[in-house]
Amino acid sequence: MRYIGNKTKLLPFIAGALDRLDLPQPTRALDAFAGTAAVGTFLKSRGATVVGCDLMTFSYVFQRAYVVAETYPQFTALRDDAGLHAARVRPDFAALVDRRAAERSDAARAAAAGARPLDELLVYLDHYLDPLTAFISHHFAMPHAPGTPVPSRPASVITALHARRVRSTAASTTLAPNAAEPAPRMYFTLDAARRIDAIRVQLHEWRATAAISDDEFYIVLAALLEAADSVANTAGIYAAYIKSWQSNALRELRLRPPSIAARPGTNNGRHARCEAHQGDVSALAPTLGHFDLLYLDPPYNTRQYSAYYHIPELIARGWFGEPPVLRGKTGLLPGAQKSQWSTRAGCGAALDQLLADTDADHVVMSYNSEGIIPEAEITRIFRAHGRRGSYRRITRTYQRYRSDRPSATRRYTSDSVREHLYCVRLKGND
C-alpha cells in the first residue's frame, strides 16, 4: 500500500545499521510503529521473532498477514461453499488459477508451495463473486461512465448480511441523487467500489460463520486493502480525492496473493510465533516483555494517520453492526485515534517515556530531517537512556515521497530528505 513513511526502499539502509549491532539470534524485535509491516516482514525474513504494534486496524491486518502467518492457508472449511463450488466447475476456472500461479516469478513460485487454495479463492473473488452496492459504494464512489446514476446514501445504510441481497441491478434502479447530501466522494469508480463491497461483505459472512480461520481472513483482507489502494483515485493519501479520474483508478480491482513465509531457521523445533498488536505503543510496549531490538518509526509530522488513511481503516474494520456516521467532505470516521507522536507538544515526552518504559537492549529509530522532534532533543534523549559511548547516528539522503502536489499550502523546500537512524544500547540491563 502507498504509505507515508513506508520503509521498503530504506530496508538496505536499516539492514546496514542492524548488522553493526551485537544482536542475538534469533532476535526478539518490536516493530513499534508497524504501518505496512514492511520492516517487520523484513526482520522476519532475517529470522527474528517479530512483535508488531500500531494504532491502526489496517496495520494490524498487514501484520497478521505478512508477519504472523507462516503458511499458505488451505481454506479447508470453505470446501463446501456453494459459490466457490459453482465457480470451480466452470470451464475457465482452472485456467484462471493456473495463469495466476504462472505470473509469479520463479523465486516466488518456489516459495509458494501450497498456495493453490489461496489462488483459487482469489480467482473466485475476482472473477465470479457478484458486485454489491453497500457502504463503500454509497459513500466513496462515483460512476466513471457518463450517465450512470450516482448511488444515494440512505439514512440507515445497508449493513452486512442483507446488503448481499442488493444485487447488481440496484445501482441503476433505486439510486437517485439526493440534493441534501454532500457531493459524491470520488475515491473509487462505482465498479471498483461495488467489488470492494462484495468482497468485504463476503469476508465478514465467512468469518461470522467460522468458515475461515483468522489467518485466512487476514490474508485475504490484506489482499483487498492492497487492491483497493491501488485503484484509489488519490495521490497516495485519503485526505483528498482527485477531481478527475487517474489512470490507476480506472484499472480493474485485482487481488494479488501476498507472499507468505515461515521464519528461516525455525523448521526443526518449537519457536515463538510472531505477534501483532493494535494500540498505543506507550501503553503496549511495557507489557510485551523483553526485546533484543526496539525498532521505532514514529510519525514525523503533525498529520494524524487516522485522517489520512480513513478509508483503508474502514475497509479493515468493516461497517457491520453499527455503521459509522461519517463526517465532512472526505467522510472521516468518528472517534478517530489521535497520536501524541503527531503533536509538537507531546512527541518528545512520548519518546523519552517509551525509552524509559520498554525493556529492550538495542534501540534503532528512523526519523527524518524534517521531523517535529528536533534533532538535538532526540540526541539528548538517546544519550540520557543509553550506555556511555553507545549512541550513534547514521544518515542517508533519499528522494522525497510526495503525497500531494506542490500548491499554495504545500511547498516542498527540496527534492531530497535526510533519513537518520538513531541507535543506542539502553542502560536498563547493565
Contacting residues toward ligand SAM, per CB under 6 A: 3, 5-7, 33, 35-36, 38-39, 53-56, 59, 280-281, 297-299, 305, 339, 341
Residue nearest to ligand SAM (CB): 5
Q: Judged by CB, which is closer to ligand SAM: 36, or 202?
A: 36
The span from the CA of 211 to the CA of 205, in Å, is: 8
CB of 67 to ligand SAM, least distance (A): 12
Q: Judged by CB, which is closer to ligand SAM: 280, or 404?
A: 280
CB of 36 to ligand SAM, least distance (A): 3
Q: Judged by CB, which is closer to ligand SAM: 81, or 313?
A: 313
The span from the CA of 93 to the CA of 78, in Å, is: 17
CB of 276 to ligand SAM, least distance (A): 12
The span from the CA of 408 to the CA of 54, in Å, is: 32
Q: Judged by CB, which is closer to ligand SAM: 49, or 202?
A: 49
The span from the CA of 186 to the CA of 54, in Å, is: 28
CB of 322 to ligand SAM, least distance (A): 23
| Terminal Cα-to-Cα distance of the chain (whole angstroms) | 40
**Torsion angle defined by CA atoms of residues 409, 414, 418 and 419, in that order, rounded to the nearest 10 degrees:** 40
CB of 111 to ligand SAM, least distance (A): 22
The span from the CA of 345 to the CA of 373, in Å, is: 9
Q: Judged by CB, which is closer to ligand SAM: 37, or 175?
A: 37
CB of 40 to ligand SAM, least distance (A): 8
CB-based contacts of 370, cutoff 8 Å, min separation 6: 300, 301, 417
Burial class (CB in 10 A: 0-12, 13-18, 19+), 428: middle
Q: Judged by CB, which is closer to ligand SAM: 212, or 222?
A: 222
